[in-house]
Amino acid sequence: MRSNPSDYEMVAPGSLQAIVSLLAKEPGAWLPIAGGTDVMVQYAAGKLPARKLVNIWNLPELRRIEVAADEIRIGAGCTYTDMRRHETVGREFPLLTTAARWTGGIANQNRGTIGGNIVNASPAADSLPALLVYEAELILVSVRGERRVPYVAFHTGYKKTLLEPDELIRAVCLPRRFASYVAYARKVGARNAQAISKVCIAALGLLRNGLVEDVRIALGSVAPVPLRLRETERVLRGRSIDSDLLLIARETAIAEIHPIDDIRSTARYRAAVAGNLVVEFLSRLGSEGAGIAGTTNVLASWNLLSTGDAISTILPCCGSRAWAQGVAARRPLADEDALLAASNETWRSLAQSDWMEAFQSHPRIGESRAQQSSSAQSSAWSTQEQRQVADADAAVKAALADANRQYEQSFNRTFIVCATGRSAQEILGILLRRLNNDAETELHEAAEQQRQITEIRLRKWLQP
């Protein structure tokens, strides 16, 4: 039911002093309204409990950003647009400007304020994890004066805060000591803007000599309040980022959060996404923090894909769907070694029918079309692998075609060899030798060749 405007009273005293005096006279009777982007939603839905509103929008005392030597003070009445446009905020606190960019649309960013986001106290609010990792402090003001409280203590439970009925948030203070940290933020929702987060993360990290010197991770939408993952941070400090640590971090993070099922998502999905985001952050920290580019980024992105997308992405490296499923199930994989180990173990555990599926994804030696339709990527790799065969003279090509026919008559499948770096003559020699194999020996030889092909293709895939 919509509210009736005549039931409401609104005043605009125009100065901070006059407003806190009004709040002090009748504590709890007056509801401050800043940008109104939360208040007016409640009003429109007929759910606004307060009948008396005091306007704090555009109050000069609340709408400035002050840069001191050791901290930056963002007035509680600053909008998302104010923060996005501020040079120092953008340079030193990118997690905050990124969250501001995600918050609603442009109209909402021009109107919504950081103070309103904090007091509205939604566990899904996008700016709040950033405040946690930057160790923000809030300046609260009333007629009794000012007090400073760490933001981490401000939200005491679902939609509950430390704010007294006669207090306003005056400013958000951020210490200026995180500019050199690797910063990572991500919002997972139906869309990035104009959608409430299913899970969002803000994280900071610093590596020294390959070890995690400092790390700060906070998540939204996984507990009644935005949550700093202290235990996960503790297990990470002093360690180098490898596949073991990624697994431990994922498990610790999932154990530390308390997600719920609601209309936007399920607890199970939120837990899985939270673990993925922590792993993605650490992979980013590992590559950016140590200056290692490339392969880790490809893997980090792949680690976060849905299972279906992860399978289809690596399928051309081998051709067996069961192999791709097995490798994808072992995510997160931290580096090339972990990926190749997962690939080899999975390959060796497969059934013969899965090996056959992989074999069928290759063209005959000397040809370009596979027996079974294969992806454009797989065909391109086959062409590269057989480059030397393409350049062979006609007599060798004819001998290969003849030996291929004999092989298929004997073993009822395409001859598989790791052709990379081998001449046509060399491949012909291998083919003629393997024609003498018994069925069992030849199957295992072909499987080993396929394992080597897969390894080479995985290495190529990792190159960005």
Using CB under 6 A, list all residues that contact ligand FAD: 31-39, 41, 56, 62, 76, 102-104, 108, 111-113, 115-117, 119-120, 125-126, 168-169, 194
Closest among 66, 97, 65 to 80, alpha carbons compared: 97
CB of residue 5 vs ligand FAD: minimum separation in angstroms? 17
Rounded least distance, CB 200 to ligand FAD, Å? 9
Indicate the residue among 56 and 229 with the shorter CB distance to ligand FAD.
Answer: 56
Task: Tell me how long the chain is.
Answer: 464
Pick between residue 76 and residue 133 the one whose CB is nearest to ligand FAD.
Answer: 76
Q: Minimal distance in Å, beta carbon 204 to ligand FAD? A: 20
Q: Which residue is nearest to ligand FAD (CB)?
A: 116
Q: Which two tokens stand for residue 166?
A: 């006669």
Question: Tokens 């992405």 belong to which residue?
Answer: 313
Tell me the closest approach of the beta carbon of residue 153 to ligand FAD, in angstroms: 16
Closer of 116 and 316 to ligand FAD (Cβ): 116
CB 230 to ligand FAD: min, Å? 23
For residue 332, whether the previous peptide bond is cis, meaning omega lies within 30 degrees of 0, is: yes
Please identify, using beta-carbon distances, which residue of 79 and 283 lies nearer to ligand FAD.
79
Which is nearer to ligand FAD, 76 or 298 (by Cβ)?
A: 76
How many CA atoms lie less than 13 Å away from 7 in the CB half-sphere?
Answer: 11
**Min CB(77)–ligand FAD separation in Å:** 6
Q: Would you give the distance in Å from CA 55 to the centre of its chain?
A: 38
Contact 76, 62 (CB under 8 A): yes
How would you classify residue 168: left for phi > 0, otherwise alpha for psi between -120 and 50, otherwise beta?
beta
Structure token pair of residue 451? 């394992």
Q: Least CB distance from residue 282 to ligand FAD, whole Å?
A: 25
CB of 27 to ligand FAD, least distance (A): 13
Give the residue with the Cβ less far from ligand FAD, 220 or 366: 220
In 195-238, beta strands by DSSP E:
199-208, 211-220, 227-228
Residue 18 or 390 having the CB closest to ligand FAD: 18
The CB density around residue 106, as the number of other CB atoms within 10 Å, is 10
Taking the C-alpha atoms of residue 318 and residue 225, their distance in angstroms, rounded to an integer, is 45
CA distances in angstroms from 56 to 10, 11, 61, 194, 343, listed in the order given: 11, 9, 10, 25, 60
375: how many CB neighbours lie within 10 A of its CB? 14
Cβ proximity to ligand FAD: between 35 and 205 the closer is: 35
